[in-house]
Chains A and B, each alone.
Chain A
């Protein structure tokens, strides 16, 4: 019995979803029926199921918590409890404030410089 290449291609396209029993479309039994009869599609299904199994195992594995990360959150919460902006927000606020002050200072300098230029041009004419 020879595999139907077109059916294999269709099945391969569907495998990322039907490898997960929760995702199988009950109204379309063709891909699963084909997999039962095709060794190559079965091998591909095993690869997808291995990926899914490894992903699910990751849930049980923790990751290292960076030093100071919990304290940072607790400090942000303490600030929130007292109505102050949390640390990171305060840092952003300081940055925005600094940029605003710099922009205002720049505009003021430009205005003064423009005034002096105008005065200098006007002086020889008079």
Chain B
């Protein structure tokens, strides 16, 4: 859970579960504290889904207003963050639906960074060179995500980063579970093509390893 951020003091270090219970009973200061505790995560989700800060801020604000109105119905069966993520995802999807005006960068628009070597397996966490390479990999992944069409990015973010099931993704985006799977397939394929810009080499007969 991210550290409390700007906007005021935390309520004695209470966790989201306690704060949510008090907020359910109408304690507004507890709800404000929940906002401070969870904003960073909510904003990260919205930013990854929408791909831009302005829409992400709007989506998160809408999400907290909806969460405030809905918190009396929050039973605590799931973690507050899980419940909030569903609301943020829904608000971000609504934001995306109203933002078809936005252009995304086509996949064939290659920036200099795209021509750099793709991911390499690196496990030396204390190696500064490996750390900086990991940052570069993350930046390339973030750029590749941003370049995806909105409808594909939303699905891959919810499934592969936030681990939502297909049915939940479909519900939040207003599509069928089948359509969510199709979009996920396309999104993963486009990410792979962008991050490893080489054609699959499986079309030529080649010597292969023996089974087993």
Contact = CB atoms under 8 A, between A and B. Distances in A.
Interface string B81-106: 00000000000000000000000000
Nearest to B196: A47
Given A1-B208, A59-B161, A70-B6, A76 B119 contact: no
Given A17-B181, A38-B202, A74 B32 contact: yes
Nearest to B141: A54
B interface SS class: helix
A74 B209 contact: no
A43 interface: yes
B203 A8 contact: yes
A80 to B, nearest CB: 6
B139 to A, nearest CB: 11
A36 B196 CA distance: 22
Considering residues A4, A47, A55, which has the most beta carbons from chain B within 10 angstroms of its beta carbon? A55
Interface residues on B, range: 35 or more
B65 A1 contact: no
B80 interface: no
Interface residues of A, number: 52
Considering residues B69, B138, B161, which has the most beta carbons from chain A within 10 angstroms of its beta carbon? B161
A65 B61 CA distance: 13
Interface string A27-67: 00000000011111111100110111011111101110111
Interface in A85-100: 86, 88
A80 B68 contact: yes
B151 interface: no
Given A59-B161, A63-B47, A88-B61, A51 B188 contact: yes
B192 A48 contact: yes
25 contacts: A1-B208, A3-B202, A8-B203, A9-B202, A9-B203, A12-B202, A16-B188, A41-B202, A47-B192, A51-B192, A57-B138, A59-B162, A61-B138, A63-B48, A65-B5, A72-B61, A73-B39, A73-B61, A74-B36, A76-B61, A77-B32, A77-B64, A77-B65, A81-B28, A88-B58
Given A51-B192, A51-B195, A73-B35, 11 more contacts: A1-B210, A3-B206, A9-B203, A40-B201, A55-B156, A65-B39, A66-B57, A69-B43, A76-B65, A77-B31, A77-B65
